Amino acid sequence: MLGTYHLSALFEILNRLHFVYEPEKLWQFVLEQACKTVQAEAGTFFELAADEKTLDVKSAYGIDAKRLGEISFQSGVGIVGWAAQYHQPALVPDVRQDNRFNKKIDLVTGFTTRSILCVPVFSQKKTYGVLEVLNRKGGQFSPQDQEFMTLLGRQSAVAYQNLLLIDEVSHTKILFESLLENLSGGLVAIGLDGKITILNPSAAAILKLSSADQIGQPAKEVLKAAAWFLETLWNTLSSKSTVSRQETQQTLHGEPSRIGYTTILIKDPQKIVLGAGIIFQKLAN
């Protein structure tokens, strides 16, 4: 069971972890805080490759990361590799008494390893890597240090996973916005509450609307001069049925216009309808 010291340190680290917004900076922060808490001379975060066969040095503290990077670390080989393969922590008070220890590492880095504590970093059965700390100052790593590191590894994995999701969503959002901006046809959509959720520049141009500040506004106000579009959106939403590659003759701002259109239903991953949209363009008469 963790004592007051370890619990306070864990709480403080996790609280500050919420303010680390870049995935590449997260592991350096976690590693440095871990080393300070357990009073380790050095530490490394090894990232497990996609094929789960190799481990790459992602962050280092108190040891030469460049020299470490010259060494090939394999899953299942060495103490770190063992932790990665079996998803178990490894507490080694004296590396000279453990045949898993690779003496070549110290020869390459110039660091003298006496003791090791490493824990796997995983979340939802996905292992991201291994956190390793070396040489506790003035003593040996304790079972409380191991429990602290284990909890830190798991919580850090959750935080990392969330950052990856946020990064992915942001990337998807950028792609979607770029698609809307460059779509030659118009696209306008409404939500269940009847408010505009999508209005791309082409739609604004065809309907002669201001695309700015229209998102979130009631569709009946935004499309009051384009009644057919509003009616079509509501019919699509209420009937939950769509049409494809249709044509209609409408009057837009006093001008007869031939419109080609397709209606769509906007759904969430569970196939629940969230809104309706219409993709359209003016056709040559």
**Domain coverage including residue 136:** 4-173
- Cβ atoms of 133 and 35 within 8 Å: the answer is yes
Q: Assess whether 195 and 266 both reside in one domain.
A: yes
Indicate which CATH number applies to the domain containing 252: 3.30.450.20
Rg (CA), the chain: 29
Q: Assess whether 213 and 157 both reside in one domain.
A: no
- Cβ atoms of 46 and 28 within 8 Å: the answer is no
Q: Assess whether 192 and 151 both reside in one domain.
A: no
pLDDT digits (tens, 9 = 90+) for 73-94: 999 999 999 999 999 999 999 9
Indicate which CATH number applies to the domain containing 117: 3.30.450.40
Q: Assess whether 221 and 111 both reside in one domain.
A: no
Domain boundary among 139, 173, 207: 173
List, in sequence order, the alpha helices (H) in the chain: 4-17, 23-37, 65-68, 78-86, 104-109, 143-182, 201-207, 219-222, 227-239
Q: How many other CB atoms are there within 10 angstroms of residue 64's CB atom?
A: 14
Task: Look at residues 124, 123, 109, 130 and name the one whose alpha carbon lies nearest to residue 55.
Answer: 130
Per-residue confidence (pLDDT) for residue 163, from 0 to 100:
83
Over residues 118-139, mean pLDDT: 91
From CA 83, how far away is CA 133, in angstroms rounded?
13
225, pLDDT greater than 90? no
Q: Assess whether 56 and 161 both reside in one domain.
A: yes
Q: What is the largest CA-CA distance in the chain?
A: 89
Q: Assess whether 168 and 27 both reside in one domain.
A: yes
pLDDT digits (tens, 9 = 90+) for 19-39: 888 877 899 999 999 999 999
Q: pLDDT category, 238, cuts 50, 70, 90? A: very high
Q: Assess whether 36 and 107 both reside in one domain.
A: yes
